Structure 1
Amino acid sequence: MKIGVVVFPGSNCDQDMIYTLRKMDHEVVELWHKDTDLQGVEMVVLPGGFSYGDYLRSGAIARFSPIMEQVIAFADKGGYVLGVCNGFQVLCESGLLPGTLQHNTSHSFICKNVHLKPVSKTAAITASLDDSRAYMIPVAHGEGNYYADEATYQQLVANDQILFRYSNAQAEVTEADNINGSLDNIAGVCNAGKNVFGMMPHPERAADANLGNEDGLLLFQSLFNNLGVEA
């Protein structure tokens, strides 16, 4: 699969993502924020970092970069888009995903391993995961508190758009494991068309045996396998 990884000024997880995707034998090209050509990619990934220094608020300026005009048009035509951490924030700012990411309720930056319980049975990135177990994935964010109004939340539930919830190691979703104050412990969502995916935790940072954790690799395998691509 040919995948484009967007690089904004301030991106710092692009090389981690590129390494992981190439290790899975995908063709990966870097897309600069000023580019206006997606180079025929079949998927776009918006990596983590601090695009444009997170000025104004996370993802707010990146949403207006030239490349995002192309990404929005690509997604609107059914193209696959994945946003991780800052990439999730950019997708929410651009309207490609519902809701918004607010400051963590602790008002502090959180950087640690957390556990995720997969929720959606119909989204590619979770469809092949075991919802009876928790997946350990790192987080690193200051604005990961997911919020949506009640009507939007009800649509997310009804349409099976909630990808992950923060949980404990036994896959139990509790308030104590809600690391940033997110609505209903939500750690990731997709759009109604199930072609745009966003999550705050970093699966690319847990996808190599040298890191002592390959849980993130399972998420990528689910994503690609359910898109009909050998992973």
Structure 2
Amino acid sequence: MVRIGVITFPGSLDDRDAQRAVRFAGAEPVALWHGDHDLQHVDAIVLPGGFSYGDYLRPGAIASLSPIMTDVVDAANRGVPVLGICNGFQMLVESHLLPGGLIRNAHQQFIRRDQRLVVENADTAWTHQFSAGEEIVIPLKNGDGGFIADAETLNRLEGEGLVAFRYAGVNPNGSLNDIAGLTNERGNVVGLMPHPEHAVEAGFGPDTPQAMSSGIDGLRCFTSAVEALAARV
């Protein structure tokens, strides 16, 4: 069975939700601890949402220096799939696995909403079960979700197809180019602000035209990784 590790940091609050999403996707969730130098031979890694170290200094900055992140960076560079969700996205940026930065929302307020997204890159370990241009709905909750980068970096991201997800309808936090998520060139590292782990089970996800709380668009982020990893065996 595919084993996907979910790392808990001080202040993580969506680690159990991520483990649950991994289980729903048909893989075995493996709880990992930020202070260890041990990935327990997992096949993929999830950096969950939350407020690691109370978001002191910059969100994700202190967590990016945790002992296990050395191993995460090494694993990512070897091609191991790594997904960073919200605070995890911030860790990926702070660890330089993804470019740019994430700053306080433009309106200076924490926001939570069911957010429409457009899938821009459907050729990554975490997105290949989507279609490019497909619109999905994923819950969003952040206070420091504004993506920034210099003009050269933005041009490279757009030109090389490294934008994984883009906000549709409303830009909730002032992210440049409406960027909601990124991938690296290899396609194994993906970071996004919205929370796919909160849209994996009917009855507990976003509302859809079919029924209240029936949205499960987030599940495909995890089943994509499971399918990609199973294909390697």
TM-score (norm 2): 0.90
Q: Does 1:103 align with 2:98?
A: no
Q: Percent identity?
A: 46
Shift of 1:77: 1.5
Whether the 8 Å contact between 2:25 and 2:219 is mirrored in structure 1 is: no
Deviation of the 1:115 alpha carbon: 0.3
Matched, 1:198 2:200: no
Report what 2:216 is aligned to: 214
Which amino acid is the alignment partner of residue 216 of structure 1? G
Q: Per-residue CA shift, 1:63-112, capped at 9, x if unaligned?
A: 11111111111111221111000000000001011111111000000111
Tell me: CA distance 1:18–1:206, structure 2 relative to 1, closer, same or farther (3 Å).
Answer: same
Distance in 1 (CA, whole Å) between partners of 2:219 and 2:23 is: 12
Of the structure 1 ranges 54-63 and 132-141, higher mean CA displacement relative to structure 2 is found in 132-141
Hey, what's the Cα distance between the residues in 2 that align with 1:156 and 1:32? 32
User: What SS is found at the alignment partner of 2:218?
Assistant: helix
1:187 to 2:188 alignment: no
What is the count of residue pairs matched by the alignment?
A: 222
Q: Deviations over 1:121-174 (max 9, x none)?
A: 422333332344421101110000011111111211222111010003xxxxxx
Q: What are the within-5 Å matches in structure 2 for residues 38-49 of structure 1?
A: 38-49=39-50
Are residue 128 (structure 1) and residue 136 (structure 2) matched?
no
TM-superposed CA distance for 1:18, in Å, is: 0.3
Say whether the 8 Å CA contact 1:10–1:53 is kept in structure 2: yes
Gaps of 5+ in 1: 169-176
Question: In the alignment, is the contact (CA less than 8 A) between 1:119 and 1:126 conserved in 2?
Answer: no
Asked if the contact 2:26–2:223 (Cα under 8 Å) also holds between the matched residues in 1, the reply is: no
Distance 1:108 1:47, change over 3 A: same
Higher deviation after alignment, 197-206 or 119-128: 119-128
Q: What is the deviation of 1:11?
A: 0.1
Deviations 1:7-60 (A, max 9, x none): 000000000010111122211111111010111011111000000111111001
Check the 8 A contact 2:24/2:200 in 1, yes or no: no
Distance of aligned partners of 1:139 and 1:192 in 2 relative to their CA distance in 1, 3 Å threshold: same
**Distance in 2 of aligned mates of 1:16 and 1:155:** 33
CA RMSD of aligned residues (A): 1.6
Contact 1:121–1:160 (Cα < 8 Å) also in 2: no
Change (3 A) 1:163 1:132: closer
Q: Which amino acid aligns with 2:35?
A: K
Cα displacement (A) at 1:227: 4.5
Q: Give the TM-score of the pair, scaled to structure 1.
A: 0.91
Whole-Å separation in 2 of the counterparts to 1:181 and 1:22: 33
Range moving further from structure 2, 213-222 or 60-69: 213-222
Displacement, 1:220? 2.5
User: What amino acid is the match of 2:36?
Assistant: D
